[in-house]
Each structure stands twice: as structure tokens, then as C-alpha cells.
Amino acid sequence: MSEMAKLKARHIAPKPQERGATRRCVDALVDVLIDECRPGLPADDRNVVKEYVSATLIGMPDYFQLGFRILALAFDFSALPVHGHRFTRLSPARRCRHVAAWRGSRIGFRRAMIAFYTTFACYGLYSLPAPQNAASPERIAA
């Protein structure tokens, strides 16, 4: 049984420490990344991908978890000066622009953070069963 199937079958409830601002930020970021690849993905499948990314973060050593939590909060609050609200409170279009700004940033840790979450969101996405009208693997550009 695949990791995604296990997560979906168990309906893992987040631990209490995951329900805070960091979890909301990561969930919102993963939503944006999902919309870039598969905009019509059902909510249940989106939740499976979010749980996968969350489980990945939880599985990290504590010293990495702390760094990624701080980085997620920095990402969330960095939208304040530009958009007037935290990332988690922005509209979907503004969230996309904020992610694009970090993805194209001259500052390395910003690009690296978006690449990290993109990688694990993609792992989660492509572990889901493919829809009937999906492009064949030969047609997907690397």
C-alpha cells in the first residue's frame, strides 16, 4: 500500500501543535502549488496532499522542523507589506503572485523554500490516482 493510500485510509488528524499558523500557511501554500498543476483536484485529494506534506515536515529531525516553521511564518508575514494581509488571508490570485515573487526572488532561501514545498506537493500529487483525461507521462515536461 502506498504512503498516500495509507494517509487517505487512516484520515490522520493533525496533532495539536500542527493546527497553528504554520499549518495554515503550509496548507495555503500547498493549495497554490496544487492549483498550478491540477486546478480541479477534489477537496479530499487536496487534503491528502496537505497531510502528506505535513507528515513530511513532522518526520524531520527537530532542528529542521524549527527552521521550516520559522521560514513558513516568515513567508506568511512577508505578504503584509506588499498585500496588506498575511499570506493565509490573501485571495487565490494574490497568493499566486506572492508564491511567484518568492520563486523568482534573488534571495536564495526564498527560492529554496518554494522548491522544497513544490517537490513534496508534487510527490503527493503524483501519488494520487491519475484522472481519466490526464496527459500521458510522455507528454509531461520535466
As a three-state string, the secondary structure of the chain is: CCHHHHHHHHCCCCCHHHCCHHHHHHHHHHHHHHHHHCCCCCHHHHHHHHHHHHHHHHCCCHHHHHHHHHHHHHHHHHHHHHHCCCHHHCCHHHHHHHHHHHHCCCCHHHHHHHHHHHHHHHHHHCCCCCCCCCCCHHHCCC
pLDDT given at position 131: 62
pTM: 0.76
User: How do residues 82-126 score in pLDDT, each as one tens digit?
Assistant: 999 999 999 999 999 999 999 999 999 999 999 999 999 999 888
Ranges of each domain in the chain = 3-7+19-129
Per the model's pLDDT, the better-predicted residue between 1 and 14 turns out to be 1
